[in-house]
Amino acid sequence: MRVKLVTARPDESAGEAIRRMLESNIGSIVVCEESVPVGIFTERDVLRLAGEGADFDSTPVGRVMTPRPLTIGSGDNILDAAQLMAARKLRHLPVVEDGNLAERLFSTQDEAAHDTARALLDRH
């Protein structure tokens, strides 16, 4: 799995975050102050806003994000991450290094670990 991070600042509009998600074909965007993750904005947040009739372009993403997202460290094992995601029913899990958002390339991991992680996630 290769990860290209897409982020937003808390003061950007939800509409801009949604457009970025659509352009990148992703289901979440990490909201950061500098490089520190302060929240996550997901498809579920978009649906909640739509149901409330919110004006996406005038709503700051920082007001509607899920604050303090659960994260893992850059040195954490992919299987541990998959188990955590399954246990907590998470679809998105930002990776941090020294408190800052990090890009993680799982392509260097063992293919058996990928298969096990996929199997764990598919079960839940």
CATH number, residue 81: 3.10.580.10
State CA 17 to chain mean position distance: 12
Q: How many domains does the chain fold into?
A: 1
User: What was the pLDDT predicted at 35?
Assistant: 85
Range of the domain at 57: 7-123
Tell me the C-alpha distance between 63 and 56, whole Å: 11
Task: Report yes or no on 1 lying in a domain.
Answer: no
* pLDDT tens digits along 18-64: 999 999 888 899 999 988 899 999 999 999 999 999 999 999 999 99
Distances (CA, A) of 79 to 30, 54, 84, 96, 122: 22, 38, 9, 17, 13
Task: Report yes or no on 44 lying in a domain.
Answer: yes
Task: Report yes or no on 33 lying in a domain.
Answer: yes
Q: Which residue's entry shows tokens 């509607």?
A: 64
Q: Side chain identity at 99, as an amino acid letter? A: G
Using the predicted structure, report yes or no on whether residue 13 has a pLDDT greater than 80. yes
Task: Report yes or no on 42 lying in a domain.
Answer: yes
Token couple for 91: 């679809």
User: What was the pLDDT predicted at 48?
Assistant: 92
How many CB atoms neighbour CB 81 within 10 A?
20
Q: What is the pTM of this model?
A: 0.76
Do the beta carbons of residue 81 and residue 115 sit within 8 Å? Answer: no
Tell me the C-alpha distance between 82 and 15, whole Å: 30
Task: Report yes or no on 2 lying in a domain.
Answer: no
